[in-house]
Chain A
Amino acid sequence: MRNRPMRFSVTAVLLLLSFAGVTYAHHGFVSWFDMSKSTTVKGTVTSFDWTNPHSYIYLDVKNDKGAVEKWTIELGALSMLSRAGWRKETLKPGDEITATGNPAKDGKPIMHLDKVVLANGQELSSAL
C-alpha cells in the first residue's frame, strides 16, 4: 500500500468462487488464469483497447525494485462493460489506477480483471 506502486497477492477463495463460474465463460479464462489467486497492481495506464470480444488495459507498474513491469489486463466485452458503467473515455494514458484480478498461470504480467479503482476513487467491475 503506502504511496508507492504496489503488487501483492492474496487468496480470496470465497470471493473467487463466486466469480469462478463467470470467468470460465468466454475464451477459456480458467485455462489461462489462476482462479484461486487474486493479484492487485497499481500503475499508470499506457493505453486502453475499447474492443470486442475483450477490452484491454495496458499498465506500467513499478515493482518493489523500481523496475517497470508492463502489465496486460483483460476485461470483458463492450456490452457488459457498458452495462457496468464503463465507457471508452473511462481510461486514458497517464491515468493512475489500481487493478485487482486473477493472475496468469504462467507468471507473466497478465491479469483477468475483477475490478479497478480509478484515481478519483470510482470502482468499476470487469463485468466478466
Chain B
Amino acid sequence: MRNRLIFSAAAVVAALALSPAARGQSAAQQKPVPDISGVWLVEKFEPRLFPNGGAPLTAWAEAKFKTTNLQTNDPNLACLPLGLPRFMISVPYPMEIFQVPTRVIFLQEGPQTMRQIHMNRQHPKDLDPTYSGDSIGKWEGDTLVVDTIGFNDKTWLDGSGLPHSEAMHLVERIRRIDHDTLAYDFTVEDPKAYTKPLSGHEVYKLKPDWEIHEYVCEENNKYTYQGK
C-alpha cells in the first residue's frame, strides 16, 4: 500500500503543478526560486551523527539509547519510515527532489518514502504526531529553510539509534552551492533528549543520469523486528 502511494508521488507532483491553486500562486509569485530539483546522492556516507560517541544525552535519552539494538529494534528492520533527520543523512540511496509552488517533495529510493515541505504556510495547531512531522519551508535568498515539528518518538535520529522525543524541533537549511552540489545543514532542538542543540552537515552530489528505482523493503526482508 505504502509503495503504491509512493510511486504515485510523481503523479501527485504533476497534479499539484497543474492545479488551479498552484497556477494561481505561481502567477502571484513572479520571483523565481532556486532550483534544487533532481536526483541527489550523499557524497560521503556516514549514518552516525556521533561516530566516536559523545552525544549530549539527557538521562531520559541515555536510558532510551541503552535499549537500542541494531539487530532487533531498529525501525528500519521492519521497513518502517526512517523519520528525520535520518531520512536525510543515513540513506546510501539517491533521493529525488521535486518542486512546485506549494511544495518541495523528497522521494527517497532506499526506504521508498516521501516527505513533503509545505511552502509559505504555518504549522497547523494540534498536530497529531507523525513519522516525518509537519514541515514548512521558505526561501531565504538561495537557501531553503525548513522548520519541522509534530514528530512521533518512534524513529531514530540516525543510524546509530540516537533517540528523540515528540518535542523535537528540526530546522534544516538546504542550498545548492554549485550545479552539482547540494549543501544540507540541520539543527535539532529537543531539550527532553539532549542537553544542547545538535547540528549536522551533509553534502549531496547531483546524479543527472539516474532515475529513482523501485525498492520494496518488505519483499524479501530476512531481518526480524522485535519492536521496543
Residues of A within 8 A of B (CB): 21-22, 24-28, 30-32, 49, 51-54, 56, 77-80, 82-83, 128
As a 0/1 sequence over residues 198 to 228 of chain B, the CB contacts with chain A under 8 angstroms (1 = contact) are 0000000000001011111101111100000
Confirm or deny: B110 has a beta carbon within 8 angstroms of a beta carbon on chain A.
yes
A25 and B214 contact, Cβ closer than 8 Å, known pairs A31-B70, A52-B219, A53-B220: no
Interface residues on chain B, number (Cβ under 8 Å): 31
Interface of B is mostly: loop
From the candidates B70, B93, B220, name the one contacting A79 in the complex (CB within 8 A): B93
Picked from B90, B219, B223, the residue with its CB within 8 Å of the CB of A27 is: B223
Say whether, besides A31-B70, A77-B215, A79-B214, A25 and B220 are in contact (CB < 8 Å). no
Q: Are B217 and A52 in contact (CB under 8 A)?
A: yes
Whether B213 lies near A24 (C-beta < 8 A) is: no
Q: Which residue of B lies closest to A72 (CB)?
A: B222
Residues of B within 8 A of A51 (CB): 219-220
Q: Which 7 A-B pairs have the closest CB atoms?
A: A28-B70, A79-B213, A51-B220, A31-B70, A25-B92, A27-B223, A53-B217
- Bound together, the chains give a CA A51 to CA B221 distance in angstroms of 9
Query: With A80-B93, A83-B210 in contact, do A54 and B222 touch (Cβ < 8 Å)?
Result: yes
CA distance A56 to B47 in the complex (A): 24
Q: Is the CB of A53 within 8 A of B219?
A: yes
B15-35, CB < 8 A from A: none
Cα separation A30 to B220 with both chains bound (whole Å): 20
CB of B96 closer than 8 Å to a CB of A: no
What residues on B are CB-neighbors of A83 within 8 Å? 210
Q: Once bound together, how far apart are the Cα atoms of A43 and B62, in whole Å?
A: 46
